[in-house]
Structure formats: C-alpha cells, structure tokens
A = this chain, B = another copy of it.
C-alpha cells in the first residue's frame, strides 16, 4: 500500500490541491433538507440533515477534489450521538476514494494520546488527523506511532489562520518564533516517513492568512505536506497560497469549507448547482 503522503500526492495530481472542509451548521443548511427532517425531535433532525447534506456534498465535489476534511466539532456539537454521523461520513468518503483528514486538533499525553489516535485511525478510519503540539514531542509521539502502524498521516498545528494566532506562535525564542520551533520539530518527525513523492506522512497546518509566514515555513519544511486553512471565506486568496506549493506542484492542500459547501442562501432551491460551481471555481483558481 502506498504511504499516506503518496496517496495524497496521487489525489493532488489527479484533481489539484483543493481540500473541501465539511463543517455542517444547522442554520446554514438548505431549508429543503431542514424541513425534510422537521418531524424528527432534536437532535435527530440535525443528525439526519447533516448526514444527507454532507454525503450529497461528497457527490457534488468529487469531480473537483480528492481530499475532504470533516470537522469533528460540528458533529460533537449535535450531541453525544453526533460522532456516529461523523464515522458514517468518513466511511462514505473512504468508499468513494477520497483521502480523508479528520480535523479534531487532538493533543494529550501517553496512553491518552494513544486513545485519541486509536479513535481517529480505527474508530473513524480516517486517513489522517490534525494534532496540537503544545504538549511536546512525547505527547505527539503516540500519534506518530499509531499513524505509522496504520499507514496514516498527521497534520501538526504550526501556524493557525485566526487573526490572533500570533499571541503565542509569534513569540521569539532563541532568535526564532515559536511556530518556527514547531516547524523545525515537524521536519524531524517527518524525516523517517518520506514516500516516493518526496514528501512525508507528518504534515503541518499553516494558515493562508499570513503569506509571509507561509513563504518562510515552506522553506523551513521542504518535505512536509502542508494543510492550508484560511483560503476563501477567511480571506486568503489563491495567490496567497501559491507560496505553499513546491516547485513540483505538490506539497500543499488548500482547504475551503464554507466557501465551497455553503455558497448559497438556505432558501435557494439551486443550492446543489451553487456547490458544484464553487468547487469548480476553487479547483480552477488553485490549479492556475
């Protein structure tokens, strides 16, 4: 079986660097879907509506992307049964041939980290998981080991896309900012996992909202897959994210969530066409 990095490379070569984020929100769903399940009591109405909407999105975006990223928080928000919908969605995405990223930003120590990794790679069968580095190498290690064993990947938060990301990530320690310290560790963790595509299984999350940082972090992590949030609704442009690609065109997947999955008003009967149009446009922009 090819490595996670090689499967990602194959997806990007086939369909470009677009990654579609699946962040279902009740108030943004097409009214037709909300009404269809209106007779169910909450939270079952939301569970059913999220399931139908997200699986429809998979069909609609499949020609334009090979990578999808469900956000765990929105399924957890529905209630303690929400994770079952997340599992079902991840399984469907896998069956359809998508590379999946479970965006859950987990981070804990020792056997607790092992438990999260087990949930992600075996419970949810996700191809990869986003993780938080604050707790240090020995807390990241159980995620890396579990990913290696299961032939999956991880994306370590290096530089996030929110306006206040710099509060800690910009602190300069020993002459370099904290996010650069994290990046240098990611390079080490990634080194033993390089696939035939020249990139490894330990990726980095690097926001598109600070293009200068993106340039520096690309240079600091030449063999690291970047998952780039912040394109589209958060303000990052296709020109901004170009800095994340390597010369061979690989190296970054660029996430769009709301921009691709909610480009319509809930009342709009043409919501499916709007999603197709938005996915097509994002694919074209990012490939250009």
A interface, CB within 8 angstroms of B: 23, 25, 71, 73-74, 76-84, 86-87, 105-113, 115-116, 118-119, 123-124, 132-139, 157, 160-169, 171-174, 178, 181-182, 185
Instruction: Check B134 against A133 for contact (C-beta < 8 Å).
Output: yes
Q: Is the CB of B182 within 8 A of A118?
A: no
Scoring A25, A80, A112, A185 by chain B CB atoms within 10 A of each residue's CB, the highest score goes to A80
Question: In the complex, A8 Cα to B158 Cα: how many Å?
Answer: 35
Give the CA-CA distance A83 to B64 in the complex, in Å: 34
Closest 8 CB pairs of A and B: A138-B164, A171-B173, A136-B167, A73-B115, A77-B115, A136-B164, A80-B87, A76-B119
Please, which residues of chain B bring their CB within 8 A of the CB of A80?
83-84, 86-87, 123-124
Contact status of A108 and B111, CB under 8 A, knowing A123-B79, A171-B173:
no
**Residue in B106, B168, B171 whose CB lies within 8 Å of A105:** B106
Tell me which of B107, B123, B134, B164 contacts A76 (CB under 8 A).
B123
In the complex, what distance in Å separates the CA atom of A181 from the CA atom of B182?
17
Residue picked from A23, A74, A167, A185, most chain B C-beta under 10 Å: A167
- Contacting pair A139 B162 (CB below 8 A): yes
Chain B positions within 8 Å of A124 at CB level: 80
Could you give 29 example pairs across A and B, Cβ below 8 Å? A25-B111, A71-B108, A71-B112, A73-B108, A73-B119, A76-B123, A77-B115, A77-B118, A77-B119, A77-B123, A78-B123, A79-B123, A80-B83, A80-B123, A83-B83, A105-B108, A132-B134, A133-B134, A134-B157, A135-B165, A136-B167, A136-B168, A136-B169, A138-B164, A139-B160, A139-B162, A168-B178, A171-B178, A173-B173
Partner of A133 from B133, B168, B173 at Cβ < 8 Å:
B168
> Quick check: B123 and A168 within 8 Å, CB to CB?
no
Q: Which residues of the partner chain B approach A111 to less than 8 Å between Cβ atoms?
A: 23, 25
Contacts of A108 on B, CB cut-off 8 Å?
71, 73, 105
Known: A81-B83, A136-B160. 13 other contacts (CB 8 A): A25-B111, A73-B113, A73-B116, A73-B119, A79-B123, A80-B123, A82-B119, A136-B165, A139-B164, A168-B178, A168-B182, A171-B173, A172-B174
A108 to B205, CA, bound (A): 12
Q: How distant is the Cα of A71 from the Cα of B112 in the complex, in angstroms?
A: 8
Cβ of A123: which chain B residues have Cβ within 8 Å of it? 76-80, 82
Given the complex, which residues of B lie within 8 Å of A160, measured CB to CB? 109, 134-136, 139
Q: A172-B173, A173-B172 are in contact. Are A166 and B112 (CB under 8 A)?
A: no
